[in-house]
DNA sequence: TTTCTACTGCAAAGATGGTGCAATTTTATT
DNA sequence: AATAAAATTGCACCATCTTTGCAGTAGAAA
């Protein structure tokens, strides 16, 4: 599913150009024309990435970034500054505020798009609701798994199990870990239960991307 | 433990300046003066971040990046390009090759340091359970052993035994120590059992890197 | 040489996870 | 609310891989 990007800049032209290019790349774009609106829109849409112009009316990009970083919901959101300023001090301040990147205008839209793709490429593996591994796309929010454009329907436990394993591809999850993560410490289920769910997932996915590590646990691999 | 950074650039001055600034920031810095040396040093030191100049003799930064990204060991390593080129096409190519960022010279060392801090802050926050010795890479999380890019599959006890020995290369582990560490004090197994597992490991690894110290125990050596 | 020690091939014992079937619980539908 | 459907969990059996031990042998140390 499309990643959401919020762009805040007070120049309508720039907003337009970036929006056009990012949408062409498949992102869902939200815009804001000043710092306050940026924060408002961020709260409303929870974008995965926020691009902030530094020089904006009603709160600069730096201020907006600081405020957003205070809120738990945006602690891990990607934030990129975009500005005409080539002021080194500001740049450093921006990065120390907790931005992930810093771009100086004029930026070619193509370069910007590439950088953003690069950020998402790495970032998506870790914290977004959407996990992308190989041909798989696992959407935590929508409870949907896509494999090569085809939608696979999994039951809740199956989904959670797959999502857990796929959240760290390659990592071996111990049976205990799995039980705690998915069933919690309260409920007690037999060991066979995990097997059975693993079996169902393997059946439904068709491809065998869940490897058994005997005596240890399971892992997701391509 | 300090994060390791490998810098590859053919200009000694730049190498020197960056090294100085990054070391002042607490990083461990390794340098290389061309593409081939960069790959060599990367394999040797397994840095967490690699900074590659694009224009270098004996493999450009782009080529080096491509080669590194092919190897499982560097699939997730942070790679940043550094170059005088303001050529947009090259920049995009760099990012699509799988780089995480792109910096154009002249870069103020301070800005570079900030960016690198930002990258580490976000991506390197978790510790790796990876033991690296010579050509071997033992990943406790993934439960795999890599030797020269090849994956070796070990059974549980075999893996644990190897991991134990490799955790302190050169150290001789007494048979008793091994028994306590891997089997615990409860279970009682004969001495021969250790031998047999050692044998299996030797078989699977191909190379003989476990040395027998007669009458004492075993140690892992290159 | 003698005496330990560890390696080797073989094989049994043991543990582990896959499989089919079924009981039980939850959820959706009428 | 009643019924149907789906999801979840459990069990017993089986195939397979792991772990362990044995007996014989080769090699090093005394």
**A101/B95 Cβ within 8 A:** no
Q: Which of B52, B106, B104, B55 is nearest to B81 (CA)?
A: B52
pLDDT given for residue A218 in this prediction: 94
One domain for residues A71 and A112: yes
Residue from the list B111, B143, B156 with its beta carbon closest to the beta carbon of A88: B111
Size of interface A-B (CB pairs under 8 A): 71
Which has the higher per-residue pLDDT, B7 or A44?
B7
pLDDT in tens, B150-191: 888 888 888 988 888 888 888 888 888 888 888 887 777 888
Q: Which of B4, B34, B29, B10 is nearest to B19 (CA)?
A: B29
Tell me which of A123, A149, A172 is where a domain ends: A123
A18 with A109: CB under 8 angstroms?
Answer: yes
One domain for residues A45 and A11: yes
Nucleotide nearest to B202 (CA to C1'): C7
One domain for residues B35 and B111: yes
Asked if residue B24 has pLDDT above 50, the reply is yes
pLDDT given for residue A1 in this prediction: 47
One domain for residues A162 and A104: no
pLDDT in tens, B57-95: 888 778 888 888 887 678 778 888 887 756 666 666 666
The bases of strand D with some atom under 7 A from any protein CB are 6-12, 17-23, 28-29
Q: What is the per-residue DSSP string for A52-101? A: EESS-SSS-HHHHHHHHHHSGGGTTSEEEEEES---HHHHHHHHHHT-SE
Which of A99, A104, A116, A118 should be substituted to probe chain B, the one whose Cβ sees the most B Cβ atoms within 10 Å? A118
User: Rounded to the nearest 5°, which phi and psi values hold at A33?
Assistant: -110, 0
pLDDT in tens, A24-40: 888 888 888 888 888 88
Which residues form the domain of A190?
130-220
One domain for residues B118 and B73: yes
Footprint of strand D on the protein (CB under 7 A): A 153, 155-158, 183, 187-190, 192-193, 196-197, 200, 214-215; B 155-158, 183, 187-190, 192-193, 196-197, 200, 214
pLDDT in tens, B98-152: 777 777 767 777 778 888 887 787 766 555 678 888 888 888 888 999 888 788 8
CATH code where residue A8 lies: 3.40.50.2300
One domain for residues A17 and A119: yes
pLDDT in tens, A45-102: 778 889 888 888 888 778 888 887 776 567 678 888 887 756 666 666 766 777 888 7
A122 touches chain B (CB under 8 A): yes
What's the CA–C1' distance between B192 and D24, in Å? 14
CATH code where residue A142 lies: 1.10.10.10
pLDDT in tens, A167-200: 888 889 998 888 877 887 677 888 889 999 999 9
User: Rounded to the nearest 5°, which phi and psi values hold at B146?
Assistant: -110, 130
β A49-53/A4-8 pair status: parallel
**A213/B141 Cβ within 8 A:** no
pLDDT given for residue A212 in this prediction: 92
Cβ atoms < 10 Å from Cβ of B187:
8
Residue from the list B98, B118, B155 with its beta carbon closest to the beta carbon of A214: B155
One domain for residues B116 and B157: no
Q: Which of B97, B47, B75 is nearest to B149 (CA)?
A: B75
pLDDT given for residue A125 in this prediction: 47
The mean-pLDDT minimum among A112-126, A201-215, B14-28 falls in A112-126
> pLDDT averaged over chain A?
81
One domain for residues A77 and A104: yes
One domain for residues A118 and A140: no
Q: pTM for the full model?
A: 0.62
Q: Which helix (H) or strand (E) holds B202?
A: helix B191-205
Q: How many domains does chain B have?
A: 2
Kindly provide the b/e burial profile for residues A180-190, where b requires at least 16 CB atoms within 10 angstroms of the residue's own CB: eebeeeeeeee
Footprint of strand C on the protein (CB under 7 A): A 175, 191-192, 195-196, 198-199, 202, 212, 214-217; B 175, 191-192, 195-196, 198-199, 202, 212, 214-217
Judging by beta carbons within 10 Å of its beta carbon (0-12, 13-18, 19+), is residue B188 exposed, middle or buried? exposed
Asked if residue A126 has pLDDT above 50, the reply is no
- CA dist B204 and A141 (Å) reads 43
One domain for residues B12 and B36: yes
Collect all residues with Cβ–Cβ distance below 8 Å to A202 and sequence separation of at least 6. Answer: A208, A210
A198 with A218: CB under 8 angstroms?
Answer: yes
Which has the higher per-residue pLDDT, A148 or B145?
B145
- Nearest-CA residue to the C1' of D18? B155
Q: What is the mean pLDDT of residues A99-106?
A: 76
Which of A93, A111, A117, A166 should be substituted to probe chain B, the one whose Cβ sees the most B Cβ atoms within 10 Å? A111
Q: Which of B206, B217, B219 is nearest to B167 (CA)?
A: B219
Cis peptide before B51 (omega within 30 of 0): no
**B96/A117 Cβ within 8 A:** yes
Q: Which helix (H) or strand (E) holds A211?
A: strand A210-213
One domain for residues B117 and B149: no
The bases of strand C with some atom under 7 A from any protein CB are 4-10, 15-21
Q: Which of A124, A128, A115 is nearest to A22 (CA)?
A: A115
pLDDT in tens, B196-212: 899 999 988 888 888 88
Nucleotide nearest to B192 (CA to C1'): D21
Q: Which of B23, A97, B68 is nearest to B81 (CA)?
A: B68
Return left, alpha or beta for B130; rule: phi > 0 is left, psi -120 to 50 is alpha, else beta: beta
Q: What is the mean pLDDT of residues B44-66?
A: 84
Tell me which of B98, B123, B148 is where a domain ends: B123
One domain for residues B15 and B102: yes
Of all residues in chain A, the percent with pLDDT exceeding 90 is 8
Tell me which of A74, A91, A123 is where a domain ends: A123
Reported confidence tier of residue A130, pLDDT bands at 50, 70, 90? confident
pLDDT given for residue B188 in this prediction: 79
Which of A171, A173, A214 should be substituted to probe chain B, the one whose Cβ sees the most B Cβ atoms within 10 Å? A171
């Amino acid at each position: 599913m499309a990643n959401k990007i919020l762009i805040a800049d007070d120049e309508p032209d720039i907003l337009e150009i970036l929006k056009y290019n990012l949408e062409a790349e498949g992102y869902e774009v939200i815009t804001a024309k000043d710092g306050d609106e940026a924060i408002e829109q961020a709260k409303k849409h929870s974008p995965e990435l926020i691009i902030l112009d530094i020089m904006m009316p009603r709160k600069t990009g730096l201020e907006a970034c600081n405020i957003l970083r205070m809120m738990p919901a945006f602690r891990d959101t990607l934030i990129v500054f975009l500005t005409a300023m080539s002021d080194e001090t500001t740049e450093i301040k921006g990065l120390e505020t907790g931005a992930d990147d810093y771009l100086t205008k004029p930026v070619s839209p193509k370069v910007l798009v590439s950088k953003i793709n690069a950020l998402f490429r790495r970032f998506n593996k870790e914290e977004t609701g959407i996990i992308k591994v190989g041909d798989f796309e696992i959407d935590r929010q929508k409870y949907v798994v896509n494999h090569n454009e085809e939608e696979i329907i999994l039951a809740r436990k199956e989904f959670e199990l797959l999502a857990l394993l796929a959240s760290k591809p390659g990592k071996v999850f111990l049976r205990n870990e799995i039980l705690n993560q998915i069933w919690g410490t309260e409920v007690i289920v037999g060991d066979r239960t995990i097997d059975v769910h693993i079996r169902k997932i393997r059946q439904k996915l068709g491809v065998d991307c869940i490897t058994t590590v005997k005596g240890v646990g399971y892992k997701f691999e391509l």
